[in-house]
Structure 1
Amino acid sequence: MKWPYLTEPEQKFSAKFKSSPQHFIVEEIPAYLPAGEGEHLYIWLEKTNLTTDQVIFRLSQALGMKTKNIGYAGKKDRVGVTRQWLSLWRIKKEQIVDVQIPGVTVLQMDYHKNKLRPGHLQGNRFSIFLAEADAAAPGIARHLFAKLETTGVANYFGPQRFGIKGDNQLIGMAILQSDWQRVFRLVLGNPDEVEKSVQILQARILYEKGQLTEALNLWPKEQFIPRNLLRRLIETNGDIAKTARRFSGKQLIFYLHALQSFWFNRCLAQRIREINRIWPGDLAYLHKNGAVFRVADAEVEQERADRFEISPSGPILGRKMIEPEEKELQLEAKVFSDGRPDFSGLKSKFTRRNLDGGRRPYRVPFQNAVVEYDNNRLLLKFDLPAGCYATSVIRELLKENFPEPDYQIPDFTAGN
């Protein structure tokens, strides 16, 4: 399945997205800057074609420190150039000088009292080049950007959340149902030509053949989850049930987050035509501080929504998620109850996995937008709040020309 678009389907153009790392540039907008003293060294770095996790892992190796002592405000994807802050506990400036990590350049550093934690940023500034864009592209882009500045951006979780094959949510569902045979096969096996890495594809084939050690040797070192699963599986002589009992649930929480994200996206897809409208019974999201309140008078609150002070919110399942009322409750129950008789039972399963959940706005503000065009190359600049995906903007421009997987819908009934 694909997510519906917010803007007019006929307003689109073709272009190449992420044709090189330098065509996708992200710069964090920090919530604060280091104060100059403290036991955490903040480093402002630029990384190219590396995920934030990969940089953290390689820094920990180079500095002889644990990854848990390296803080970050937001995780960034691999493909592209990113400038972001990291914090290093009890590391001195002089220790950084001799660290050489390919693809990483330290631009600035200073000390601060606290560790950087997820969410410690205002947002992200994007500069994205689209190659081979035709002459109509800038006019269409400006038209669509004007619409997004008014309505906001549909706050979909991006395709990177669901993996190359669009199946991370299937793994999350299998974990929720304790279907460990399926979990291990989806994470370690299930070879598919969609897999971009020949090395990983071969590792998946070896797993399917039962050659666990050989598969482990092929998985890249930065692929923590599959490597740890394989190590534990080898230790138990291939006993999946025993391995599952030994494996930390925290190490698999990434897939549960993908499942939460998938269901949020499905709810957003159902509401896509009215994400700037407030309904009675909505849980409105206050953009200035992230607070949520129940809407009593939709007509009064609509005025605040028109000023972009508030937006309707959708569900992130977990123990802290508040349920809406009336029309939005019916929408969410329909999505969650698709093939399942028990909406509350599904929520309780996330609660038992210690997932907080909450509410996420269906739309977010789109600011400081710029469109430039030169020699068939389109430059797009814009700011988005923390936790939002630039792909939600680009897919509105390219529509079906945007590269994304066919998202697979989890089986709600298997294993129950």
Structure 2
Amino acid sequence: MLNLHAWQRCLDAEFGAPEPGHYRAQPEDFVVDEQLDFTPENHGEHLWLRLEKRHQTTLDVVKSLSCLCGVAPREVGYSGMKDRVAVTRQWLSVHLPGREAPSDLSVSLAALGITVLAQARHPRKLKRGVHRSNHFTLRLSGEALQGNHFYDRWEALCRQGVPNYFGPQRFGPGGRNLQRAEALFAKGWRKRDDRQGMMLSTARSFLFNELLSERLADGTWCQPLAGDTLMLDGTHSVFTVDAVDNNLLDRAAALDIHPTGALWGVGELADYHVADYEKRLLACHPMLCEGLLKSGVKRSHRALRARLISPSIETLPNAVVLSFALPRGSFATAVVNELIAHPDVA
């Protein structure tokens, strides 16, 4: 049985471990606003709805929309999964060719704790992963705020970026999703046993976090190495380097490029220095690595570091409010984990 590890933080070597703190005591302490690069075109077969929810997952909202609009859940589209214990705002789409939504849809959603903020028609379904970023407003409190280095830690994250870990929610309570993935690989992964690919995603996320933690321990998580695949900030464009020069080091220091780690799958292993990390990963977790290869999932890359976009901090009596955006796929819990000690983000 695999267990989640205590992965490395980036600031402990300089400031020591963070002190205990509190976050997400209530949904209003954790506000997420999904940002798209475009707006609906006001015509087409799909009704797009910008919704605000509390105490519900995105899939809960999908089920509610499918029921109220009389469509199958697969006819409801969304870009990203949002937290349950939070106030979250995001677009969802419903395929309604040749007909209108129920006239009382907004009222029915409101009765379920879901507010319609905007709506418009669009020719296409909203697909996964098309949003640009998520904007977060987080309220933190507790002993950590009185510590000597809380604000130093925050300023360091604004300056150098944050380790781009997958958050603990990816692995389920107590890491049970990871245990399920291992059990599935032990008997042979099949699509019918993992139709949404959640077990594949869980295994790849764990292996990525393992690699990132090792590079944090080595001090190379934000420094390009020979053999690295580098990602341009703000995009998913990548290029591989056989050697590292001062220009690349300067660009990495300026947060213009980021080293990446493999999302494990079918494809060539890295070369040069980076190959050693991947070989150790394969040696430590052969069942997960080989299970992913047998599944046929294609290898890809994820940045080891995420830049905080437009960060700010507000000091309140007995609390602080952090405001920042992260690229899609990055977790705010990675930021919280560097600032406070809390069991839900460890």
- In structure 1, what is the equivalent of residue 16 of structure 2? 10
Task: Name the amino acid aligned to 1:368.
Answer: S
Q: Given that residues 286 and 310 in structure 1 are in contact (C-alpha distance below 8 angstroms), is that contact kept between their aligned partners in structure 2?
A: yes
From 292, 311, 330, the equivalent of 2:258 is 311
- In structure 1, what is the equivalent of residue 170 of structure 2? 161
What whole-Å deviation, never above 9, does each CA across 1:103-142 have from its counterpart, x for those lacking one? 21111101112111111111111011123456636x7443
Q: Given that residues 133 and 378 in structure 1 are in contact (C-alpha distance below 8 angstroms), is that contact kept between their aligned partners in structure 2?
A: no
From 44, 56, 64, the equivalent of 1:38 is 44
What whole-Å deviation, never above 9, does each CA across 1:391-410 have from its counterpart, x for those lacking one? 00001001xx221388xxxx
What whole-Å deviation, never above 9, does each CA across 1:288-326 have from its counterpart, x for those lacking one? 43122211231132232223221111111123x442111
Determine helix, strand or coil for the equivalent of 1:298: coil
Report the Cα offset of residue 346 of structure 1. 6.1
Task: Name the amino acid aligned to 1:92.
Answer: E
**Which blocks of at least 5 consecutive residues in structure 1 are unaligned?**
181-244, 407-416
Matched, 1:119 2:129: yes
Q: Given that residues 234 and 327 in structure 2 are in contact (C-alpha distance below 8 angstroms), is that contact kept between their aligned partners in structure 1?
A: no
What whole-Å deviation, never above 9, does each CA across 1:139-178 have from its counterpart, x for those lacking one? 7443222211222110000000111112311211211121
Report the Cα offset of residue 10 of structure 1. 2.1
Task: Name the amino acid aligned to 1:378.
Answer: V
Flag the 1:339–1:92 CA change in 2: closer, same or farther, 3 A: closer
- In structure 1, what is the equivalent of residue 57 of structure 2? 51
From 269, 275, 280, the equivalent of 2:213 is 269
Task: Name the amino acid aligned to 2:275.
Answer: L
From 281, 302, 307, the equivalent of 1:365 is 307
- State TM-score, norm by structure 1: 0.75
Report the Cα offset of residue 390 of structure 1. 0.2
**Which blocks of at least 5 consecutive residues in structure 2 are unaligned?**
none
Report the Cα offset of residue 15 of structure 1. 2.1
Q: Given that residues 87 and 116 in structure 1 are in contact (C-alpha distance below 8 angstroms), is that contact kept between their aligned partners in structure 2?
A: yes
Task: Name the amino acid aligned to 2:301.
Answer: R
Matched, 1:176 2:122: no
Matched, 1:69 2:69: no
Q: Given that residues 311 and 363 in structure 1 are in contact (C-alpha distance below 8 angstroms), is that contact kept between their aligned partners in structure 2?
A: yes
Task: Name the amino acid aligned to 1:15.
Answer: G
Report the Cα offset of residue 355 of structure 1. 2.1
Percent sequence identity is 29
Flag the 1:152–1:405 CA change in 2: closer, same or farther, 3 A: closer
- State TM-score, norm by structure 2: 0.89
Matched, 1:105 2:115: yes
Q: Could you tell me how far apart the structure 2 residues matched to 1:402 and 1:132 are?
A: 10
Determine helix, strand or coil for the equivalent of 2:64: helix
Report the Cα offset of residue 70 of structure 1. 0.8
- In structure 2, what is the equivalent of residue 324 of structure 1? 270
**What does 1:241-252 correspond to in 2, within 5 Å?**
248-251=192-195
- In structure 2, what is the equivalent of residue 128 of structure 1? 138
Q: Given that residues 169 and 256 in structure 1 are in contact (C-alpha distance below 8 angstroms), is that contact kept between their aligned partners in structure 2?
A: no
Flag the 1:369–1:253 CA change in 2: closer, same or farther, 3 A: same
Q: Could you tell me how far apart the structure 2 residues matched to 1:61 and 1:327 are?
A: 53
- In structure 2, what is the equivalent of residue 209 of structure 1? none
- In structure 2, what is the equivalent of residue 231 of structure 1? none
Report the Cα offset of residue 14 of structure 1. 2.7
Matched, 1:356 2:303: no
The RMSD of aligned alpha carbons is: 2.3
Q: Could you tell me how far apart the structure 2 residues matched to 1:292 and 1:381 are?
A: 28
Q: Given that residues 57 and 83 in structure 2 are in contact (C-alpha distance below 8 angstroms), is that contact kept between their aligned partners in structure 1?
A: yes
- In structure 2, what is the equivalent of residue 216 of structure 1? none
- Select the structure of larger CA radius of gyration: 1
